[in-house]
Structure 1
Amino acid sequence: MSSLANRTDRALPQIVEAIYDSIADVDRWQSTLDAVCRLVDGQLAMLAVLDTISSSARFSVSCGDPAILEPLKHDYGSEVPFYAAVPRMEIDVPFTVDSIYALQGSGAREKWLESRIVREWVQPNRLDDFFWVALMKQPARIGTLMVVTDKDRRQISSEDIDLVCLLAPHVRRAVTIGDLFEAERRKAEIFRSIVESLDHPVLIVADDMNIIFANPAAQALLAENTSVCCVRGQLSFTYVHANAAISRAVQIGRRDEFALGPAGISIPLAEANVPAVAHVMPLARREISARLSRRAAAAIFIAAAGSAPVPALEAIAALFGLTAAEKRVAGHVAAGLTRKEIATAGGVSDGTVKSQLATIFDKTGTGDQRGLELLMRELSPPLRLN
């Protein structure tokens, strides 16, 4: 068994449970980040959601030696030059210092090495590299996870990157749903109280999609009987692909939270340029589920249509739970590339692309590239950017 498989089998499922426990109990985030740090041999970890309009933190938590972290927060945080790269970072994909240099272009490495933060903070603390993941990119929000390594750690490998890739969508789901909580978190301590007071519709469902609880905003949405409805007690979504994606995410999350991966995040609820979206939070293993019902399998959070269009490929990835790598391959298929051309474009072997395509075909219910291309063409027009 490889070291990655060993770490995945032993540690990752436990960390994923801790991530979801941290959504409603934010005090758990620090110990969760500690576990992430140990998993990847990091020294510091920082998780944050920033309001880009007010340039303030909506949510921020970190772990590591306070003597190292405090100067970063108070003296050097504003001098980190890499934040400008976030809009160009792919969601769920871990970047290292070298890959950020490549993203920022000529002069980025020299500018960083000559900066005050490197001279006064990075070098004295023997820090070296990082895993940096973009979790949220919205007009008014950005969310990132960063784990910093030191000079005593071996060089970050592709296996390490793969490990963080597995973890990233779970952190993204937790941060996305947690951001919906932030406005009311200080007003209520119990999960149900928070849910009831949210302006966003939230529904608690059993594994068969029977509705156990709906907050007032969700009840109003159900009364409209447009994109969301209740049929003999079961939750149903008008958009057939969204209905299938959400039901699938509820089922997977009940069986195996770790296997949920990127499925069930930002699922578009209509064939529209700027659709409302749904996020699925697994509840079966949560302590909070006992306070609601023993049958509670998942909470479904619905966010209203935003101000920015959802690109077709992002919507399709959400509908079918495609990973970042699978999304890239699907994009190449939509562009009409052959399997050989996709391998060349991605710098991987033909066998890797063949395996990725097989997984994509399974997730989307298509049998070959032609079928996948037709499906994406069918779904793309109403969701395409102007």
Structure 2
Amino acid sequence: MSATIERIYAAGTAAESWREALSAVYSLVGATGGGIIRTDSAGSRAIMASMLEPGAVTEYADHYAPLDHVVAEVEAGPIGVPLSGADLIWPHTDTEFYADWVRRNDIGDGIFVRVDRSTTFVCAHERRDDPFATRERIAAVALLSPHLRRAIGIGARTVGLGELDPSLPSALDAVDRAVLVLRADADVEFANPAAHTLVGKADGLRVDPSGRLVAAPRAYGEFRTASTRPPPRTASDAARVW
């Protein structure tokens, strides 16, 4: 479970890692696929990340998103409460959405959870006689839901915010790997417990008395180069190095 949570937070800071994170979640609960669906302020839905074929994602965006009664029902419910595909999908097998998109993509069952006001997480599975949403699977998805919410929030806020998301420190504290957030002058804005342990060894990097991250002389040039690459995407990013 801890390795799966770590992959979720890694995806929050690097969108290209979401497929790896989703794969870890689905392996954990025995799902065959699924994804993350977001609804914008205008009510338009889009698949933010998934294990689906690109064609299925495009078809959803072009035609089937407004017909998605499953996500509509999830969005009308409480945040963080997993719902069974047997309850959401099976009563509506006579719809166009089910016949032409759900069934063709083997999403006849699953577990669906609203992770925040505009985001639904889907653990999909083909339909079988017994519902996919066992007590153990529901418990696992419920446990992962707040981590998904924080990771998605981190991704949404990384671009364009001048201050750290208030949920970021507690989220990154759960990550086993060292994470530091630096200002452009190498002042340490945040360090999770793993980072404190790493720099506490003072065998390459250390935090000096003024709160700046410094390197041994032979590594200093490499450190300064790495800490200023890539170029900032926004004005707020210019003041921070991840």
**TM-score, with length taken from structure 1:** 0.42
Q: 1:158 to 1:42 in 2, by over 3 A?
A: same
Find the partner of 1:41 among 30, 38, 41. 30
Find the partner of 1:92 among 72, 80, 101. 80
Bigger shift: residues 76-85 or 25-34: 76-85
More helix by share: 1
Q: Structure 1 residue 285: deviation in Å?
A: 3.2
Q: Structure 1 residue 85: deviation in Å?
A: 2.1
Aligned to 1:143: 119
Q: Is the 8 A contact 2:110 2:123 kept in 1?
A: yes
Q: Tell me, yes or no, if structure 1 residue 15 matches structure 2 residue 8.
A: no
Q: 1:23 to 1:78 in 2, by over 3 A?
A: same
* Partners of 1:49 and 1:177 in 2: CA distance: 15
Aligned to 1:80: 68
Q: Tell me, yes or no, if structure 1 residue 171 matches structure 2 residue 136.
A: no
Q: Alignment partner of 1:127: what SS?
A: coil
Q: Tell me, yes or no, if structure 1 residue 130 matches structure 2 residue 94.
A: no
Q: Structure 1 residue 56: deviation in Å?
A: 5.8
Aligned to 2:191: 296
Q: How does 1:113-128 map to 2 (within 5 A)?
A: 113-128=93-108
Q: Structure 1 residue 60: deviation in Å?
A: 1.0
Identity of matched residues, %: 22
Aligned to 2:137: 160
Post-superposition Cα deviations, 1:201-260, rounded to whole Å, max 9, x if no partner, equal: 328xxxxxxxxxxxxxxxxxxxxxxxxxxxxxxxxxxxxxxxxxxxxxxxxxxxxxxxxx
* Partners of 2:177 and 2:37 in 1: CA distance: 23
Q: Structure 1 residue 67: deviation in Å?
A: 5.4
Bigger shift: residues 17-26 or 115-124: 115-124
Q: 1:167 to 1:74 in 2, by over 3 A?
A: same
Larger RCO (CA under 8 A, 6+ residues apart): 2
Q: Tell me, yes or no, if structure 1 residue 180 matches structure 2 residue 157.
A: yes
* Partners of 1:87 and 1:279 in 2: CA distance: 28
Find the partner of 1:202 among 164, 170, 195. 164
Q: 1:180 to 1:48 in 2, by over 3 A?
A: farther
Aligned to 1:30: 19
* Partners of 2:35 and 2:58 in 1: CA distance: 12
* Partners of 1:129 and 1:89 in 2: CA distance: 18
Q: Alignment partner of 2:108: what SS?
A: strand
Q: Is the 8 A contact 1:33 1:62 kept in 2?
A: yes
* Partners of 2:28 and 2:129 in 1: CA distance: 13
Q: 1:114 to 1:54 in 2, by over 3 A?
A: closer
* Partners of 2:157 and 2:181 in 1: CA distance: 22
Q: Alignment partner of 2:50: what SS?
A: strand
Q: Alignment partner of 1:53: what SS?
A: coil
Q: Structure 1 residue 289: deviation in Å?
A: 2.2
- Given residue 176 of structure 2, which amino acid in structure 1 is its aligned partner? R
Q: Structure 1 residue 294: deviation in Å?
A: 11
Q: 1:153 to 1:165 in 2, by over 3 A?
A: farther
Q: 1:22 to 1:170 in 2, by over 3 A?
A: same
**TM-score, with length taken from structure 2:** 0.64
- Given residue 94 of structure 2, which amino acid in structure 1 is its aligned partner? E
Q: 1:41 to 1:92 in 2, by over 3 A?
A: same
* Partners of 1:164 and 1:34 in 2: CA distance: 14
Q: Is the 8 A contact 1:34 1:64 kept in 2?
A: no
* Partners of 1:279 and 1:146 in 2: CA distance: 26
Find the partner of 1:51 among 22, 31, 40. 40
* Partners of 2:43 and 2:127 in 1: CA distance: 36
